Structure 1
Amino acid sequence: MSAPLFLEQFESTLTRTPDELAVIDLSGEEPVTLTYGDLDRMATRIAARLLALGVEPGEAVAYQLPSGWPFVALTLAIWKAGATPCPILPQLREREVAFILNSSESRVYIAPDVFRRFDYRPFVKSVLQETPRVKHAIVLPLASGDPHSSDLGGLLAPEADAEAVRAELAARKPGPDSHSQLLYTSGTTGEPKGVLHTHRTLSEALFIHTRTLGLTSKDRIWVPSPTAHQTGFLYGMLVSFYIGAPGIYHATWDVEKARLAIEVYGATFVQAAMPFLSDITRADRPPKGLRLFIATGAAIPRQLAQEAREKLGCAVVGAWGSTESCLVTAGRPSDPPEKLWGTDGRVLDGMQIRVVDEAGRELPPGTEGNFQVKTPAMFVTYLHHPEWYDAAMTEDGFFDTGDLAVIDEDGYLRITGRKKDVVNRGGEKIPVVEIEDLLYQHPDIADAAVVAMPDERLGERACAYVVLKPGARHLDLSDITDFLGERGMAKIYWPERLEIIDEMPRTASGKIQKYVLRQDIARKLDRERAEQTG
């Protein structure tokens, strides 16, 4: 039996309880709330505008918006128009955005006017010079804040126009195998991967997730993660749709906004990266009221897990998922503490996990190997690169995650490393190869490698190791980050430490031994901490 589709779940809530809250947006000075009826009417008007712009069924619509009611309404509108949402993180800059717009072949690009003191208006003009296929660029004024008085920069069609196209919108209603999401992830080859999901695959993920964790319409879903990221999009916004509950959003991370979401607006459930858990746990007055916090991105350290459970008064469990496979493992509040903490949980009902050797043979419990997963929520392809999809899938339908892992005798997963060359900064994957390619273009750098360095709050940060050319001037970190910024690389991808060395450690075949560099920076950090405490 197939899982109910998330749009059917939304429509069911709309029919039964149109006056129930769908959105609570805490981004501005005053909270903004929308009922399911409000949200549906607004999305219909936006969908009418998208039709007027010539958006075709299945076409990708790109939008670079922060979390909040405009993002939610626009996403629903894109589905109503039969098109495919292609959300872009607001932090990305010219290099990444131009790539995504060209790759997705989006003809409509929507961005905010100003967000986090960054003016997107000249930025949009600059991006358009590199993206000739984009025919309509719409800048949304975020400052207005009030959905009942804003026309969203012209994106909101008059109600009469919306009524006139209702029949066409009904005919465009997506089916189970229609594309529901095009989300770009940082690739290991330097080129971001366009991951395509369908309405069926995301609905399977939601059905398994909400059933396993016992989420109902009585919950309130807190969404501190960016909705342009799979965690916020699927396990925040769409979870709220699926169970008919409110989603509580704020555009930027702030502990006081978190307190407002939990203690005033009643948030009960959140799935987010570990830094969010760390920040609210170690706040001066940790907010209480959550029922369940699912921490993703890295296994929860025992000390943090114990602190969080005591100070927040809620269950805290670890989990593992990816953009491609959605969530596959999670702890359960009833699990023993020694299994909950320091692991990534156990497999969700209806999904499969295994660890195999290089020949694909399944390994016994407690043995490290290549981590593979099989799930009805699996993505359907990489846009323009079906060969990448074919390479990642085994003959018996398992997806090779690129991670190394151990599964113990009780079925609990522990990610131990990765074959993929990325840095996992608080759940955000940093494209190492792309950074290195740019560093090699620096006139003073002869050799470069970017590796993960351990970080208590974010799990990992990026450290750049470089070898200077003979006679080159001394470089510092600001020289590196300025260079990357000038070439359009988003700040969130910049290395946060620079180490200058005489030569790179290499194998006999000439490959850089990055594990040596990771060990080196870990030892240096340990020494620095010891000196500070000693």
Structure 2
Amino acid sequence: MNATAHALAGSPTLWELLRRRATRSPGRTALLQGDRAITFGELRERAERVAAGLHDQGVRPGTPVVWQLPTRIETVLLSLALARLGAVQSPLIPYARDREVSFALRAARARFFAVPGEWRGFDHTAMGRRIGAPGLFEAYAHLPEGDPAVLPPPPVSGTEVRWIYWTSGTTSEPKGVLHTDRSLIAGGATLGHALGLTRDDVGSIAFPYAHIGGADYLVMLLLYGFPALLIEHFALPRSLAEYRRHRVTTAGGSTAFYSLFLAEQRKQPGRPLLPALRLLAGGGAPKPPELYHEVVRELGCRLTHGYGMTEVPMITMGSPRDTPEELATTEGRPPPGMEIRVVDGEIRLRGEAVCRGYLDPAHTAAAFDQDGFLRTGDLGHLTPSGHLVLTGRRKDIIIRKGENISAREIEELLHGHPGIADVAVIGLSDPLRGERVCAVVEQPPGAPALTLAEVVAHLRERGLATHKLPERLEVVEALPRSDTLRKVLKYRLRERFA
């Protein structure tokens, strides 16, 4: 039986996974944060008391609860308490503001809204009052607790929709993505198996726990019994002390995290940045092959990259058992039970980790084909070995004079230019060509000003076809990024430079 099938046997709930782990290894550390630590046994006991406190306030099975909380131990406790009650929980990243929060509360029909109070200079409680949030409470100053004797039995099936995650909005409102405990467990189980993690590892969650990767990472902890360091606000070099103190063995999050660690390593070449680190892993954004080789060579650890999205948290994942070439140029292989179909270049998915659809039935109908495969909008192909290669997105294809141009291909070639720290290639409307190719770049500190001629010459040297060469260059202080996995928001660049 493969790892996913074993984890899903009997369709367990997230709470059942915690019960099993707390019974098997109650004294093992589960979460670390600063000077604080909590064991799996304590995690279960405290989460049950919080569940009782929420029950006293009126939270019942199926009650919609929106929470907007940073990456803290209390956030995990609250989420597990809601799982114990069988409530429908909807996490929001703490950077969302009035408009996005109001929409989520309305769309999810929330009856309660948990906030951190004031966090990083913003008063979430005041925002909640301003927008008329129902059942507003501060989860840290007043995390409710009660007597577990009042609780009804925990949910017994992991197949009911109990999670609403939100996709990033571009030109329209965000979409509410419907998940079950089963789909999240499938994602976490396959991720842990692909990475080859053991109970001797020390993980890390340096991204917002409200991201779908938060619940998936928790699943890994419960299945494998290793601890994770929680980083409330990831910033280098400040966060390095915590990684070193707790001897973190596996870190990451996305391509941006790899680049940040690499930049710090380059400040002290020859001296290991994180001596205990053996693996960087992540996903959520393209990984240039050159970056893979730089990380392995300079940080002295393995790097495995994967492919996932809010709708399907684990699609493919590189494995330490893959060859360097496979790790550098692909997104890994799908686990057993994840079906990938490529239709006209588009990747379509069916499997246990795929969401149940969206809050809006019209979005669901448009997203799934007649065979039940999710249309991802991503373009790519499978290699003979079964590894997935991503080549871009349908909306990230630039059509110039009728020719399709992959923005990702140009970005990967530009990544190796010494005067470019990061780059995004976009298509801009052109009355004669349809679209023109525009490269938007961040430069390293102190680098000489870059010119379009230099960019074009660099790409010519690397054999890029003439019709794909950028016709416009924009240099920005910083590319706009999402607040979760730091993905570049290309729609903002298109709006700015249109």
Q: TM-score, normalised by structure 1?
A: 0.72
Specify the SS of the correspondent of 2:308: strand
Verify the 8 A CA contact 1:289 1:312 in the aligned structure 2. Answer: no
In 2, the alpha carbon distance for the partners of 1:464 and 1:92 equals 28
Q: For each residue in 1:284-307, what CA deviation from the matched residue of structure 2 results, as whole angstroms up to 9, or x when unmatched?
A: 342232222223133322332222
In 2, the alpha carbon distance for the partners of 1:523 and 1:19 equals 49
The aligned counterpart of 1:55 is: 59
Specify the SS of the correspondent of 1:397: coil
Verify the 8 A CA contact 2:66 2:110 in the aligned structure 1. Answer: yes
2:252 counterpart of 1:252: no
2:195 counterpart of 1:195: no
**Please, which runs of 5 or more residues in structure 2 have no aligned partner?**
398-406, 444-449, 459-498
Q: For each residue in 1:253-312, what CA deviation from the matched residue of structure 2 results, as whole angstroms up to 9, or x when unmatched?
A: 122454234322122223511111111122034223222222313332233222211333
Specify the SS of the correspondent of 1:154: coil
The aligned counterpart of 2:138 is: 139
In 2, the alpha carbon distance for the partners of 1:126 and 1:331 equals 45
Q: For each residue in 1:390-434, what CA deviation from the matched residue of structure 2 results, as whole angstroms up to 9, or x when unmatched?
A: 222222232110111133333332222212479xxxxxxxxxxxx
Q: Structure 2 vs 1, CA of residues 56 and 78 (structure 1 numbering), >3 Å: closer, same or farther? A: same
Q: Structure 2 vs 1, CA of residues 522 and 340 (structure 1 numbering), >3 Å: closer, same or farther? A: same
**Please, which runs of 5 or more residues in structure 1 have no aligned partner?**
141-151, 358-368, 423-450, 466-503
**Which region of structure 1 is more displaced relative to structure 2, 78-87 or 117-126?**
117-126
Q: Structure 2 vs 1, CA of residues 320 and 116 (structure 1 numbering), >3 Å: closer, same or farther? A: same
Shift of 1:84: 2.0
Specify the SS of the correspondent of 1:288: coil
Shift of 1:187: 4.4
2:255 counterpart of 1:270: no
Shift of 1:530: 4.0
2:386 counterpart of 1:402: no
The aligned counterpart of 1:127 is: 131
In 2, the alpha carbon distance for the partners of 1:458 and 1:9 equals 42
In 2, the alpha carbon distance for the partners of 1:317 and 1:212 equals 9
Shift of 1:114: 1.9
2:131 counterpart of 1:155: no
The aligned counterpart of 1:328 is: 315
Q: Superposed, which structure 2 residues align to 1:373-412 within 5 Å? A: 373-383=349-359, 385-412=360-387
Shift of 1:172: 3.7
Q: Superposed, which structure 2 residues align to 1:438-449 within 5 Å? A: none
2:284 counterpart of 1:302: no
Specify the SS of the correspondent of 1:303: helix
Specify the SS of the correspondent of 1:326: coil
Specify the SS of the correspondent of 2:329: coil
Q: TM-score, normalised by structure 2?
A: 0.77
2:43 counterpart of 1:43: no
Verify the 8 A CA contact 1:222 1:267 in the aligned structure 2. Answer: yes
Q: Superposed, which structure 2 residues align to 1:356-505 within 5 Å? A: 356-357=343-344, 369-383=345-359, 385-420=360-395, 504-505=429-430
Verify the 8 A CA contact 1:25 1:33 in the aligned structure 2. Answer: yes
In 1, the alpha carbon distance for the partners of 2:239 and 2:293 equals 20
Verify the 8 A CA contact 1:318 1:345 in the aligned structure 2. Answer: yes
In 2, the alpha carbon distance for the partners of 1:458 and 1:89 equals 27
In 2, the alpha carbon distance for the partners of 1:163 and 1:319 equals 40
In 2, the alpha carbon distance for the partners of 1:256 and 1:311 equals 17
Q: Structure 2 vs 1, CA of residues 347 and 464 (structure 1 numbering), >3 Å: closer, same or farther? A: closer
2:190 counterpart of 1:221: no
The aligned counterpart of 2:150 is: 165
2:280 counterpart of 1:280: no
Verify the 8 A CA contact 1:66 1:251 in the aligned structure 2. Answer: yes
Q: For each residue in 1:62-86, what CA deviation from the matched residue of structure 2 results, as whole angstroms up to 9, or x when unmatched?
A: 1111001111111001111110221
Verify the 8 A CA contact 2:204 2:229 in the aligned structure 1. Answer: yes
Specify the SS of the correspondent of 1:153: coil
In 2, the alpha carbon distance for the partners of 1:524 and 1:17 equals 47
Q: CA RMSD in A?
A: 3.1
Shift of 1:117: 2.0
The aligned counterpart of 1:10 is: 18
In 2, the alpha carbon distance for the partners of 1:530 and 1:32 equals 51
Give 1:22's match in structure 2, choosing from 30, 46, 49.
Answer: 30
Specify the SS of the correspondent of 1:255: coil
Q: Which amino acid aligns with 1:294?
A: A
Specify the SS of the correspondent of 1:341: helix
Give 1:527's match in structure 2, choosing from 448, 451, 456.
Answer: 451
Q: Structure 2 vs 1, CA of residues 345 and 185 (structure 1 numbering), >3 Å: closer, same or farther? A: same
**Which region of structure 1 is more displaced relative to structure 2, 38-47 or 191-200?**
38-47
Q: For each residue in 1:443-473, what CA deviation from the matched residue of structure 2 results, as whole angstroms up to 9, or x when unmatched?
A: xxxxxxxx999696996669898xxxxxxxx
In 2, the alpha carbon distance for the partners of 1:217 and 1:50 equals 32
Q: Which amino acid aligns with 1:121?
A: T
In 2, the alpha carbon distance for the partners of 1:404 and 1:34 equals 43
